[in-house]
Amino acid sequence: MKGYIQIYTGNGKGKTTAAIGLAIRAAGHNKNCFIGQFMKGREYGELKTLQKIPQIEIEQFGITKCITKEEVSEEYKEKSKKALLKCESKMLSGKYEIIVLDEINVSVWFGLINEKDVLDLIAKKPENVELILTGRYAPESIIEKADLVTEMKIIKHYYDKGVNARNGIEK
C-alpha cells in the first residue's frame, strides 16, 4: 500500500495524540510503527502504554520541551541530529510501515534540527511508508512536501482560566 506524508500542526491540542491514535489504529491492522519523540524526555503517559503494544516501538530523544531558543546549544543540536538519523535508519530498515516524528516541526522552529535535514529524510521515504510529522510551526518547505496537512486550531481553551498541564491528560 502506498504511504503518504502527513503533518499535524497548529497551536491547538491533539497533534501528538492524533499521531498516537493513528499508530494504535495501524497496529490493529498489524502494521509496525516507530514513534520518535523529539523534545520529550519526561515520562509521558503514552510511553508506558505504547510499550505494551508489540507492533509499536517508541523512543524519546531526551531533550526536554521547555527550552527557549536561547538555550539551544551545539550539544543539543548534535543530539537532535543523531536522533533524526536514527529515525531515518528506522524508516529505511523495511521493518516499519508507519514512522512518526513527534514534535519535529517545533524542533526545526527552535533551531534544534535543520529544515534541510528533515527535507532530506522526506526525500528518502520508501514508497510503502506512511510518515507523520507533528508539532506547531510546520515550515512551508515541509508542508509543500506533505500529502495531508491538518491544522489543530484552538477555538476555546481552559488554559485561559489558568489550568496547568495535567498528568494523564496533557502529558
Question: Which residues form the interface with a second copy (CB under 8 A)?
Answer: 1, 4, 6-10, 12-22, 24-31, 44-50, 52-53, 55, 97, 130, 143, 146-158, 161, 163, 166-169, 171
CB of 158 to a second copy, least distance (A): 4
Angle at 79 between CA 74 and CA 83, to 5 degrees: 145
d(CA 25, CA 156): 28
CB of 75 to a second copy, least distance (A): 29
Residue 79 or 109: the one with the smaller Cβ distance to a second copy is: 109
C-alpha cell at 39: 523534545
CB of 131 to a second copy, least distance (A): 12
Residue 9 or 107: the one with the smaller Cβ distance to a second copy is: 9
CB of 125 to a second copy, least distance (A): 14
Residue 70 or 144: the one with the smaller Cβ distance to a second copy is: 144
d(CA 160, CA 141): 32
Residue 17 or 114: the one with the smaller Cβ distance to a second copy is: 17
Which positions ≥6 away from 161 have C-beta within 8 Å?
A: none
What is the DSSP secondary-structure string of 58-110? EEE----TT--GGG--HHHHHHHHHHHHHHHHHHHTSS-SEEEEETHHHHHHH
